[in-house]
Amino acid sequence: MKIAFAGLGNMGLPMVNHLIQAGHSVAAYNRTPARTMRLAKGIVRVANSPVEAARDAEVFITMLAEDAAVDAVLFGKQGAFNGLSRGAMHVSMSTLSVAFSEHLTAEHDAAGHAYVSAPVFGRPVAAEAGKLWVVAAGMQEHLQRAQAVFAAFSQGTFTVGSRPALANAVKLAGNFTLAAMLETLAETCALVRKLGIPEVEFLNILNTALYKSPVYESYGNLIAGRQFEPAGFRLRLGLKDVRLALAAAEAVEVPLPIASLVRDRMLAMVAGGAGGKDWAVLSELAARDAGMQ
């Protein structure tokens, strides 16, 4: 399959490598050209602009940080919309707002493109291993076409409906649960730490007697080891996702009081200069509030 891929960050780069290994033809674009140096030259075609990448592509994949970045790649002066042919498919794997995903649906429908929203759950280590989880929504025939793409770097796909924005809603809701978990874990780790119980011992009890969760284990290890750099997922992006979850909830009149609390906790850390660190750094605020920093 002829694939164009925009966004060679910590997630996108290994996804491209898996697509190549699966036998797809890939044209890659990244706003920062230096990232393309890590691609297999002669195998991946490096494009100088989104429109160049999109020409002749059957599928155009975006894996970018936010609505504005996707908007620029699609609709900017050298945007991919100017290169996509009728019948080509855009697969958005970014964590976007529900409202922007609805906008993309309308634009692609008007242009005669297929559109699938398919954000993923998993950190960069899962992308490297080809073990991401895909949450997809779109027309059934479009999802069937996209499945060959998902299979290259995922361990499974959850289909949540024919309206693409539903996948974004699920992704935002999922990321909110992770953010709430981080705040809870941060507070409880601060409590046991101040009482003199080693955090690793507490976390071992949690993962043996209560949760048996790789999520609690991995984030617990980051918190206990104060390992917040390099970031697997930056706090600034986590704050963005909680804000988008709140916006989606407000649009349908659903209160999310815990999300409001977590947003403010994240905002305090970002204001203090921690926005580029892993979002597990939220634990440092709980420790500081407990007088341990």
CATH number of domain containing 270 = 1.10.1040.10
pLDDT tens by residue, 4-26: 999 999 999 999 999 999 999 99
Strands (E), 13-72: 25-29, 45-46, 59-62
The pLDDT of residue 39 is 80
The residue among 143, 162, 181 that closes a domain is 162
Of 231, 215, 220, nearest to 177 by C-alpha is: 215
Residue 177 lies in domain: 168-289
Q: Which of 162, 192, 210 is the last residue of a domain?
A: 162
pLDDT at 41: 63
Active site (catalytic) residues = 171
Chain segment 253-285, per-residue pLDDT in tens: 999 999 999 999 999 999 999 999 999 999 999
Write out residues in the chain with pLDDT < 50, as ranges: none
Q: Are strands 132-136 and 120-121 parallel, antiparallel or unpaired?
A: antiparallel
Helix (H, G, I), strand (E, B) or coil at 118: coil
CATH of the domain at 87: 3.40.50.720
248 shares a domain with 115: no
Q: Which residues touch 261 (CB under 8 Å, ≥6 apart)? A: 183
Domain count for the chain, please give it.
2
Q: Are residues 132 and 244 in the same domain?
A: no
Same domain, 18 and 145: yes
Please indicate, yes or no, whether residues 150 and 182 belong to a single structural domain of this protein: no
Q: Measured on CA atoms in the order 240, 244, 245, 247, is the torsion positive or negative?
A: positive
**In terms of domains, do 144 and 187 share one?**
no
Selection from 270, 250, 252, 254 nearest residue 262 by Cα: 270
pTM: 0.95
